[in-house]
C-alpha cells in the first residue's frame, strides 16, 4: 500500500501539485487520471522518487520514503517495477537481455536461473519467441509487453505504469490493460497506472484518483465514476459522444 499525504511540488515558483492526499491499495489497479497538464506525470515521478517535493509524505507500506537512508532507498527501488510511456527499453540489448537486466543488477542468481526466470515472464506476457529480437524490431504492443516483463521479473511489490497503452490500437490497448490487471491480482502487488484513456478507466480502474490543476478533484472506482455528479469528472469522462451514449444507456438500464 502507498499512502500519500499533502504532497506539494513546484517548478520555478509554479505549484504543480497543490497538496494531494490519497491511498493506493495493495492488490488493486489504481488509476491516476486527468487532462494533460493536470500534474499526473509529476505526481507519478514524485511517487517514484524521481522528483523531490517541497511538502508532504509518501509512505510505502508504512515507510516514509524521504526518511529512508540511501541504502534503504536503493532496496526500496529494487522492489519497484516501472513501465514507461515509451517503454524505455535499452536499445543496445535484446529483448531477453532487457528483461534479464534487473536480475543481473540486483540478484546473485546463476545464469541458468536468470534465463529460466526470463523465459517464465516472457511466456507470462505471451512473448515466448521474441528473446533474441532487438527492441527496434518489436511492435509497439510487443515493446509494452517487454517493458511489463522487465518490470515484474524481479517480483516487485509496486508496479507503476505511465500511460501504458498510449500509441496502441484499441485491441492491443485492452490486451495490455488486462495483462496489468492479471499481474496485479496474481502477484498481489500495488499497481499505479497513469492514464487518460477512458477505456482503461472502465476496464481496470479498481481505484481512480482524478486530478485537476494539481489537486485531487475526485476519488472512486470504475463502478462509481458513472454515477458521480462531480462536474469536473463528468466533463472529462463524457467529453466524447460515445461515452455520453454509454452513460445514458447505463442510467436508463438502472432506472
Partner 1 sequence: MTYLHNIGAYFLMIAEMFRKPTKWSVMKQLILKDVDDLIIGSLGIVAFISFFVGGVVTIQTALNINNPLIPKYLVGFATRQSIILEFAPTFMSIIMAGKVGSFITSSIGTMRVTEQIDALEVMGINALNYLVFPKFISMLLYPFIISIAMFLGILGGMAACVYGGFSTLEDYIVGIQTDFETFHVVYAFIKTFAFAFLLATIPSFHGFYMKGGALEVGKASTTSFVWTSVAIIVLNYFLTQMLLS
50 binds partner 1 (CB under 8 A): yes
Binding-site member from 63, 104, 227, 244 for partner 1 (CB under 8 A): 104
109 binds partner 1 (CB under 8 A): no
Give the three cell numbers for residue 239: 467529453
Contact by Cβ (8 Å): 247, 238: yes
Q: What is the distance, to the nearest Å, from the Cα of residue 240 to the centroid of all Cα atoms in its chain? A: 24
Beta partners for 4?
Answer: 22, 58
Instruction: State the nearest-atom distance from the C-beta of 84 to partner 1, in Å.
Output: 5
Instruction: State the nearest-atom distance from the C-beta of 76 to partner 1, in Å.
Output: 8
CB closer to partner 1, 19 vs 49: 49
CB closer to partner 1, 31 vs 89: 89
CA separation, residue 210 to residues 21, 79, 158, 238 (Å): 12, 26, 20, 14
User: Distance (Å, rounded) from C-alpha 227 to C-alpha 223?
Assistant: 8
For residue 42, the number of C-alpha atoms closer than 13 Å in the C-beta half-sphere is 26
63 binds partner 1 (CB under 8 A): no
User: Distance (Å, rounded) from C-alpha 114 to C-alpha 97?
Assistant: 10
Instruction: State the nearest-atom distance from the C-beta of 232 to partner 1, in Å.
Output: 30
Phi, psi of 20 (to 5 degrees): -90, 135
CA separation, residue 181 to residues 84, 165, 200 (Å): 17, 13, 10
73 binds partner 1 (CB under 8 A): yes
**Binders in 160-219 for partner 1, by CB under 8 A:** 160
CB closer to partner 1, 148 vs 225: 148
68 binds partner 1 (CB under 8 A): no
Instruction: State the nearest-atom distance from the C-beta of 8 to partner 1, in Å.
Output: 22
CB atoms within 10 A of CB 161: 27
CB closer to partner 1, 5 vs 73: 73
CB closer to partner 1, 104 vs 227: 104
Binding positions for partner 1, rule: CB under 8 A: 48-50, 70, 73-78, 80, 82, 84-86, 88-92, 102, 104-106, 160
Amino acid at each position: 500500500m502507498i499512502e500519500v499525504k499533502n504532497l506539494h511540488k513546484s517548478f520555478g515558483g509554479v505549484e504543480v501539485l497543490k497538496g494531494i492526499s490519497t491511498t493506493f491499495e495493495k492488490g488493486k489497479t489504481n488509476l491516476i487520471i486527468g487532462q494533460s497538464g493536470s500534474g499526473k506525470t509529476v505526481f507519478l515521478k514524485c511517487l517514484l522518487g524521481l522528483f523531490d517535493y517541497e511538502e508532504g509524505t509518501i509512505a510505502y507500506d508504512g515507510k516514509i520514503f524521504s526518511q529512508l537512508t540511501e541504502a534503504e532507498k536503493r532496496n526500496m527501488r529494487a522492489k519497484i517495477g516501472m513501465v514507461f510511456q515509451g517503454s524505455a527499453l535499452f536499445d543496445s540489448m535484446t529483448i531477453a537481455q532487457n528483461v534479464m537486466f534487473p536480475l543481473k543488477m540486483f540478484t546473485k542468481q546463476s545464469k541458468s536461473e536468470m534465463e529460466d526466470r526470463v523465459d517464465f515472464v516472457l511466456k507470462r506476457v505471451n512473448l515466448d519467441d521474441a528473446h533474441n529480437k532487438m527492441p527496434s524490431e518489436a511492435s509497439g504492443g510487443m515493446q509494452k509487453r517487454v517493458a511489463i516483463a522487465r518490470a515484474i521479473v524481479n517480483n516487485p511489490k509496486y508496479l507503476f505504469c505511465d500511460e501504458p497503452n498510449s500509441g496502441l490500437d484499441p485491441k492491443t490497448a485492452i490486451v495490455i490493460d488486462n495483462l496489468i490487471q492479471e499481474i496485479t491480482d496474481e502477484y498481489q502487488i500495488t499497481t499505479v497506472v497513469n492514464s487518460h484513456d477512458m477505456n482503461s478507466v472502465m476496464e481496470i480502474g479498481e481505484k481512480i484518483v482524478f486530478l485537476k490543476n494539481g489537486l485531487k478533484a475526485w476519488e472512486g472506482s470504475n463502478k462509481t465514476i458513472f454515477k458521480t455528479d462531480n462536474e469536473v469528472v463528468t466533463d472529462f469522462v463524457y467529453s466524447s459522444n460515445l461515452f455520453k451514449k454509454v452513460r445514458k444507456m447505463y442510467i436508463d438500464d438502472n432506472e
